[in-house]
Amino acid sequence: MKINKILIANRGEISIRVANTCKKLGIKSASIYSETDKDLPHTKASDESFYLGMGSLAQTYLNQDKIISIAKECGADAIHPGYGFLSENSEFCNKVTDAGIIFIGPAPQAMELMGDKKTSKVKMEEIGVPLVPGYHGENQDSDFLFEEAKK
């Protein structure tokens, strides 16, 4: 599927960088903003800008349903989460794809696996990825860990 428009679900410098890249690629971009961010540069860097309303981060930039609704309203084919906020949220990724919109980022399964460092190290060891040597066991006693660190 060709992407014609991307909703950038973030603010500030990352939103500007994504919007500038979209322009270079010939892709339309849409940004979002809260009341306190209405005059910030990222709202002017994109082709369109949509108001999230007033309120806390939970009511604005973390409001998954509102962001997906705006993406549908503006005809976005994809959502770019930027970093922070929703970029590592597998639930958001699933909601986006369930809405028929492309999520620009890792698959939810990858987020879930790599979000837990211990699980991700075990998986990487299983498939032969070179790792920095270290202790990955259950014993977290400080004396034991000190001895392990000497190795």
Residue 36 sits in which domain range? 5-110
The CATH number of whichever domain residue 64 belongs to comes to 3.40.50.20
Residues 52 and 76 occupy one common structural domain: yes
Compute the average pLDDT of residues 23-40: 96
Whether residue 126 sits in one domain with residue 106 = no
Q: What is the pLDDT of residues 99-114, one digit of tens each?
A: 999 999 998 888 888 8
- Enter the pTM of the model: 0.81
Q: Are residues 69 and 140 in the same domain?
A: no
Condensed to tens digits (0 to 9), the pLDDT of residues 58-106 reads 999 999 999 999 999 999 999 999 998 799 899 999 999 999 999 999 9
Are 81 and 131 within one domain? no
Is residue 105 located within the same domain as residue 137?
no
**Is 61 found in the same domain as 42?**
yes
* Cα 118 from Cα 99, distance rounded (Å): 32
Name the DSSP class of 29: E
Q: Are residues 93 and 128 in the same domain?
A: no
Q: Domain count for the chain, please give it.
A: 2
> Residue 79: its pLDDT value, please?
98
Structure token pair of residue 138 = 């259950």
Which amino acid, one-letter code, is at 135?
A: Y
What are the residues whose beta carbons fall under 8 Å from the beta carbon of 89, sequence distance 6 or more? 64, 81, 111
